[in-house]
Amino acid sequence: MRKKKKQNLGPWIAAVAVLAVALWVLLSNVVLVVREVRVVGAGDLSDAEVVHLSGIRLGTRMSSLDEQRIHLDVESDGRLAFVSMEKKLPSRVELTVRPRSLDALILQAGKILVLDSDAYVVRVTDQLPDAPVVYVTGIKAAYYTLGRQLDTADGRCGAMKAVVEALKARGASDYVAELSVADVADLRIISRTGITVLLGDSSNMEAKIAWMAGALADLEARGQTLGRLDVSSGTKADFMPQQDGEDSAAAPAEAATDAAAEPALEAPQS
């Protein structure tokens, strides 16, 4: 009985490998490429503006998209926060973003930095923004970059966030002319009429702002525009009017008032 000749499989294996490589090249460069970028949450910006910021180009291989790079590019303009990027194979990319709010401003190296409550730099300008924004003192950053968070580790940005978010929640931002976070254990607000408000540390801030708003509404209605208001306990508001020739920031807060008995009061329209 004759033995069957052993088949040489080498050429077949090589052919299959070549075919696999060709198929991979075809998929990567023709099929799995960006043909659509869908944007979610752009706010006032157009989808085209967001796509331009992201640097994503139609025809780019899906596998070559660098999410970290796209994240930085989207936020480099300052106006947007990157939320997520999803690849919807074979050819669609979904970018989810959110507009950053204008919550605070500080002076830095002769420039006005407009920040959101997380201390990201939203705008660098020489002019005050049209929107009402809380002026904050006491924050000093070694450097700043548009679209990036201020590089501070002293707790002052966190204190600013606590106050600004509480002001927004209570609709009380219009009462504020200045917020000082120079001492995170002794946060202070100067009201639009000149009353110094003592907040203490950043704990229980929404309750403190509620008492502040109620008390200031009552004080302004009675024509009281100078003095010191202590809401640092979060459970009451103690007001001491300024005496003639006295600095309101140094006046003792001893006299209690029931002006803030209704903590849910919102700021009147100015």
Mean pLDDT to the nearest integer, 90-100? 95
Give 134's contacts (C-beta < 8 A, 6+ positions apart).
103, 104, 105, 163, 164, 167, 173, 176, 178, 179
Name the residue with higher pLDDT: 249 or 155.
155
pLDDT of residue 202: 96
Q: Note the Cα 249 to chain centre separation in Å.
A: 30
Residue 268 has pLDDT above 50, yes or no: no
**Domains of the chain in sequence order:** 32-99 (3.10.20.310), 104-250 (3.40.50)
Confidence of residue 109 (pLDDT cuts 50, 70, 90): confident
pLDDT of residue 20: 53
Condensed to tens digits (0 to 9), the pLDDT of residues 2-42 reads 555 556 666 666 555 555 555 445 444 544 889 999 999 99
Condensed to tens digits (0 to 9), the pLDDT of residues 45-73 reads 999 999 999 999 998 999 899 999 999 99
Condensed to tens digits (0 to 9), the pLDDT of residues 144-176 reads 999 999 987 789 999 999 999 999 999 999 999
Condensed to tens digits (0 to 9), the pLDDT of residues 199-211 reads 999 999 999 999 9
